Amino acid sequence: MTISPPVSESDSRILKLYRSSIGKKLLTGITGLAMSLFVVVHMLGNMTLFFSAEAYNQFGHFLEQVWPLTYLIELVLTLSVFLHASLGIQLWLTKRQARSEAYAVYESAGQSPEKPSYQSLSSRSMIVSGAVLGSFLVWHLLTFKFGLRYSVSGSEMRDLARLVIEAFQQPLYTVSYVAVFSLLALHLRHGLWSAWQSLGALNQNVRPLAYGLSLIMAVLLVLGFGILPLAIYFGLLS
């Protein structure tokens, strides 16, 4: 059984694609990759705080100055987040309905070298990790983007460095952020290679490589994001 409404002849090709399972997978993959690109750039941008508070604030200020580009990126990101989440939920519901009954014990498919199974904790927890990441994003934006507006004295520049440092001096922020980064890694560990798979970019030869690279990327991201809150919390950065 499928939850998608029937596709009529008059529907546009885009709508047909959106309603088909293949189209949903494709759009989930494309939006997921767009967000992953943002996440990598954001992580690298965070690293400027290791150089100095000035460098971090200058970077934030620069992004405010190139506002037409920033607004465009924000628009693409917002659309990607909503599309990705709604398609992810639809795909998950369809899969759940397709299973006549849930497995009492979850057993991974065959591990033979000819047809290895790519099921993992990461692939099975996508809906949960995705839901937590969505809620995190609301909290994150309320704290940093729309939160307290400190200014660098004598200028109009936002003092984002002060905001970030004050947040991660509190255990609530550091512990929850590090926990969320672990879930982000879990989500991307499956999401990254699965997106390329949905785009048809992987054949049997490169699939194990993409699978391994996704794991490496996920680990680098959790380390790259996690190091800043931990450094601040333990007083190495103030």
Give the one residue of 16, 22, 37, 42 binding ligand HEM; rule: CB under 6 A. Answer: 42
Q: Which is nearer to ligand HEM, 14 or 72 (CB)?
A: 72
Give the one residue of 17, 47, 55, 63 binding ligand HEM; rule: CB under 6 A. Answer: 63
Give the one residue of 19, 25, 140, 162 binding ligand HEM; rule: CB under 6 A. Answer: 140
* Contact status, residue 127 vs residue 88, Cβ threshold 8 Å: yes
Q: Which is nearer to ligand HEM, 30 or 40 (CB)?
A: 40
The number of beta carbons lying within 10 Å of the beta carbon of residue 144 is 14
* Contact status, residue 206 vs residue 168, Cβ threshold 8 Å: no
Tell me the window of 20-28, 70-78, 116-124, 187-195 that interacts with ligand HEM (CB under 6 A): 70-78
What tokens does 96 get?
A: 């759940």
Residue 32 binds ligand HEM (CB under 6 A): no
Size of site (CB under 6 A) for ligand HEM:
20
Report how far residue 167's alpha carbon sits from residue 145's, in angstroms, rounded to the nearest whole number.
Answer: 13
Q: Which is nearer to ligand HEM, 19 or 140 (CB)?
A: 140
Residue 54 binds ligand HEM (CB under 6 A): no
CB of 29 to ligand HEM, least distance (A): 17
CB of 31 to ligand HEM, least distance (A): 13
Report how far residue 221's alpha carbon sits from residue 186's, in angstroms, rounded to the nearest whole number.
Answer: 11
What b/e string do you get for 208-226 counting C-beta neighbours within 10 Å, with b at 16 or more? eebbeebbebbeebbebbb
* Contact status, residue 130 vs residue 88, Cβ threshold 8 Å: yes
Report how far residue 94's alpha carbon sits from residue 73's, in angstroms, rounded to the nearest whole number.
Answer: 31
What tokens does 53 get?
A: 């508070």
| Nearest residue to ligand HEM, by Cβ distance, number only | 144
> Which residues bind to ligand HEM, rule: CB under 6 A?
39, 42, 46, 60, 63, 70, 74, 77, 133, 140-141, 144-145, 160, 164, 177, 184, 225, 228-229
